[in-house]
Amino acid sequence: MFRIWITLTGLLGAIGVGVAAWSSHGLPSFVPADQLPIAIERARAANLHHMLHTVALFGVALWSRHNPSLFLNLAGSLFVLGIAGFSGGIYLLRIIAGIHEGPLINIVPFGGFCLIFGWLALIVAGWRERRGDFY
């Protein structure tokens, strides 16, 4: 799984940097002036969570290289789903499409739950680690 996690880390990191650049330079010409302050704030919050959890996924990749486990893979999967749901939902639904209500918007809190449960799965992976095997 190391190759999958490290590949996803690289892709998500590149996407995160690209979205940050776009939100700093392209967002003002895309969003109406009266909605720009909230759009910038949403983009910053989404990008912060995107990049922080990409770094967490990098940790999962490194750890999985030495001691792969079910809960470690679960944590990585939840981080990827969480980034896509939470950050991607804010980027695509709230900022680009302007969707602020309806069932589709529920992808954002679902992504947030995935991020939270990813951290909890990481805790379980750590506690299930055999003593002396962690570098």
* pLDDT tens-digit readout, 33-46: 898 899 999 999 99
Mean pLDDT of all residues in 11-21 = 96
pLDDT of amino acid 133:
53
Structure tokens at 100: 């602020």
Termini Cα distance of the chain = 18
Please spell the DSSP secondary structure of 33-54, one letter per residue: GGGHHHHHHHHHHHHHHHHHHH
Model confidence band, residue 27 (pLDDT cutoffs 50, 70, 90): confident
Q: Per residue in 83-133, pLDDT tens? A: 999 999 999 988 888 888 888 889 999 999 999 999 999 999 999 887 655
pLDDT of amino acid 131:
64
Q: What angle do CA 43, 9, 23 make, to 5 degrees?
A: 20
Sorted by sequence, the CB contacts under 8 Å of residue 40 that are 6+ apart come out as: 23, 27
For 89-119, letters b (16+ CB in 10 Å) and e give bbbebbbeeeeeeeeeeebbeebbebbebbe
Domain layout of the chain by residue ranges: 2-128
pLDDT of amino acid 47:
96
Closest listed residue to residue 72, CA positions, set 122, 110, 108, 5: 122
pLDDT of amino acid 89:
94
Sorted by sequence, the CB contacts under 8 Å of residue 85 that are 6+ apart come out as: 107, 108, 110, 111, 112, 114
pLDDT of amino acid 79:
98
Structure tokens at 124: 């379980």
Q: How many residues does the chain have?
A: 135
Question: Quick check: pTM over 0.75?
Answer: yes
